[in-house]
Homo-oligomer: A and B are copies of this chain.
Amino acid sequence: MNSLQPHAEKPARKTPSPSRDGGALYGAAVEYGMHCLTWLVDRDAPVSSRDLAELQGVSPAMIAKIMPRLEKAGIVASSNGINGGYRLARPAETISMLDVADAIEGRKSLITCREVRRNCALFEEAVPRWAIRRVCGIHAIMLRAEKSMRDELARTSLRDVVDNIPAPPDFAPEVDCWLGARTASREQSRISAIRAGTRRRSSDD
């Protein structure tokens, strides 16, 4: 390349390198949130945030941050108490994968348009009207691609996802059983704690 361009050819080390890490648009929260919801479909009893985490072997703290976002978006509803937890707030057929992604991470873009076109060295005094009358052509393409992606996510419902899980018929009852055992264990711990408290109070008298 041009030998008169030392900076261009040998950039300073501190210049940030254009990202090539293959980073994804959505983080683990969207993936975990979608998985959490599949466990709530066709389940009568509410499932606690901690049980959802342990059932899936993922961080309880992460799930505890995801579920309130799904609740705020009207996708799940929560109930309190020892048997409390999360239920779907509406039918699985009406919850799209786009609803879930937007609820958890907000609306994501393919690119952040920096309006590079306004900086053109030829626009010395003012940016001409023709240059900014429309959306930047490159941004427009990215917006079209983003729309295709969002349309595809909007087309798939939580029901579609669950219907495609090839679990055998006895799997759902096994999950109910696992969750039921945890609720029963908590209930038992509570009763034991109450009894221990009663005994302590009796011996104090």
Contact = CB atoms under 8 A, between A and B. Distances in A.
- Is the interface on chain A under 10, 10 to 19, 20 to 34, or 35 or more residues? 35 or more
A22 B107 contact: yes
A199 interface: no
Contact of A138 (B5, B34, B147, B166): B34
B8 A111 contact: no
Contact of A9 (B64, B106, B171): B64
Contacts of A202: none
Contacts of A152: 141, 144-145, 147-148
A106 B18 CA distance: 11
Contact of A145 (B28, B130, B149): B149
A131 interface: yes
A85 B167 CA distance: 59
Contact of A175 (B9, B56, B109, B122): B122
Given A8-B48, A56-B116, A141-B161, A22 B106 contact: yes
Given A148-B148, A149-B149, A17 B65 contact: yes
A166 B105 contact: no
A192 interface: no
Nearest to A84: B2
A3 interface: yes
Interface of A: 1-5, 7-9, 11-12, 15-32, 34-35, 38, 48-50, 53-66, 69, 78, 80-85, 97, 104-114, 116-117, 119-122, 130-131, 133-134, 137-138, 140-142, 144-153, 156, 161, 164-168, 171, 174-175, 178, 186, 189-190
